[in-house]
Amino acid sequence: MNSKFSSFQIIILIIFGIFIVAGVAAFSFYKGNTTDGTLPTITVWGTIPKNAFDDYVTKVNYTTSPQLSITYVQKSVAQFNLDLISALARGQGPDTIIVPTDLLLPLEDKLALIPFTSMTQRTFMDTYIQEANIYINQNGILGFPFVVDPLVMYWNRDMYNTAGIATYPKYWDDFKNLNKTLTVKDSNGNLRRSAVALGQFDNIVNAREIFGSILMQIGNPVTIVDKNGLVTSGIKSAYSTSIQSAVTFFAQFINPSSVNYSWNKSMSDSKSAFLAGNLATYFGFASELSDIRTKNPNLNFDVALLPGPKTPGTAVTYGRMYGFSMIKTSPNLTAAFQVMSTLSSSQYLGTLSDSMYLPNVRRDVLADGSGDPYIALFGKAALVSSTWLDADPAGSSQIFSDMVQSFASGQKSIYQAIQDAGDQYNALLSQAVAPQ
């Protein structure tokens, strides 16, 4: 009896030993060091500018050991997913990618999950801004946030000052009054200067992101992830009250019979109009600051947070977040994880923020604040930034556009426009590799 019990104990110890070794192996898969102290060359594909990324790696290598050897390939957003899937089908492709979260959903089955044994969900959430939670699913972490580019409001100081308006709009409803003084029409009713560009998708830069921000602010999800990881449209009749208010508000600015008419499809795009001094308010990304300064050095403008609803809502602005994700077929996953961990550490991310003139994605770095007035404001925007899982940003933008236009033109009732858009969006999302 004793010998049998002793044998049973031995078997149990062996089983536990196997599990312990397996656990350590899994952890070291992502944390382990190479035997000779060097790292293999890692290939990274991304959509951020190559010069900015290469400059960042060079600065990191001044102080890190082992040295990071990275080949970075810049790809266009429009072609990224197709190029990656094609390369992987040929047994090629990168070790890691840096893409906007908009592109994650169709690629999810191509990505290697970072297990919660390497970084717990709580540690991840405490480390990064709230928008980064989009990288978390029930089985692990899809990537490490790298940089965020929040949507902000640019406003023309001269136009506001000349009109006797002392401050920029803090609420969307403010534009209803601003139109009376800032929008200028000729004797034939043609628009010459506009307070704001809203309602028209074709020539409004970032229209999808602006409209999505409004939806999120009023608590209407753009997409929904259910308990099984299935991603579906948040544009549906079940949310008709909130989304009807968003569509109605957005559409009034392109309705010639509305007192708030300020934009139409015959005008130049919104950014060009702002640069020319013909648009008082432009909604653009933080990264556009340098471009606006360069293209019109004489433009007297400032930057503010995106307006919000006057009624109770949530402070939200769309954030274009980029993160490091590993490709599961890479032969260099251990090295890829080490590279990702180094480049996304608090020690170095401040350098990236400085070089790209964008806010940090880490809470501990943002907590230090900034003496730069623009970076300080961008940091506030980053803290309330959000996004959604999408299958095809260009496709969803067209669906949103059709929804607003069909209602504004009277082709469809607002209920039918929303219902059709929801059905179309679900069809688009179903094409992606959905379950998380």
Domain boundaries, the chain: 36-147+320-378, 150-318+388-430
CA distance 218 to 215: 5
What are the tens digits of pLDDT across the range 217-234?
998 999 998 878 889 999
pLDDT, residue 33, reads 47
Res. 416: pLDDT tops 60: yes
Contact 43, 73 (CB under 8 A): yes
**pLDDT digit string, tens, across residues 84-102:** 999 999 999 999 999 899 8
Higher local confidence (pLDDT), 277 or 4: 277
pLDDT more than 90, % of the chain: 71
Cα 92 from Cα 73, distance rounded (Å)? 13
Confidence of residue 238 (pLDDT cuts 50, 70, 90): low
Beta strands in 184-268 (DSSP E): 184-185, 191-193, 223-225, 231-233
**pLDDT at residue number 196:** 96
Nearest to 88 by CA among 433, 392, 369, 367: 433
Q: Tell me the two tokens of residue 395.
A: 């496709």
pTM: 0.89
Domains 36-147+320-378 and 150-318+388-430 share a fold: yes
> Is 50 exceeded by the pLDDT of residue 2?
no
pLDDT of residue 427: 95
Please give the C-alpha separations between residue 191 and each of 164, 182, 312, 394, 405, in angstroms, as whole numbers.
Answer: 20, 11, 33, 28, 19
Q: How far is the C-alpha of 137 from the C-alpha of 344, rounded, in Å?
A: 20
User: In a 10 Å sphere around its CB, with 0-12 CB exposed, 13-18 middle and 19+ buried, how is residue 411 labelled?
Assistant: exposed
**Separation between Cα atoms, residue 45 and residue 320, nearest integer Å:** 17
Residue 435 banded pLDDT, cuts 50, 70, 90: very low
d(CA 209, CA 319): 9
Give alpha helix (H) positions in 75-156.
Answer: 77-89, 104-107, 121-127
pLDDT in tens, 33-52: 454 567 899 999 999 999 99
Instruction: Tell me the pLDDT of the chain averaged across its residues.
Output: 88
pLDDT, tens digit (0-9, with 9 covering 90-100), for 143-191:
999 999 999 999 999 999 999 999 999 999 999 889 889 999 887 878 9
**CATH class given for the domain over 36-147+320-378:** alpha beta
Q: With 90 as the cut, is the pLDDT of residue 8 above it?
A: no
Choose among 276, 280, 279, 285: nearest CA to 306: 285
Q: Which fold has domain 150-318+388-430?
A: D-Maltodextrin-Binding Protein; domain 2 (3.40.190)
Specify burial of residue 352 (Cβ count, 10 A radius: 0-12, 13-18, 19+). Answer: buried
Residue in this structure with the two tokens 């449209």, named with its chain if needed: 233
pLDDT at 370: 86
Q: Three-class SS of residue 108?
A: helix
Per-residue pLDDT at 240:
63
CA 130 – CA 133 distance, rounded (Å): 6
Query: How many angstroms separate the CA atoms of 50 and 209, rounded?
Result: 24
For residue 24, name the pLDDT band (cuts at 50, 70, 90): very low
* pLDDT score recorded for residue 235: 92
Q: Is the dihedral of CA 172, 173, 178, 183 positive or negative?
A: positive
- Mean pLDDT, residues 285-290: 97
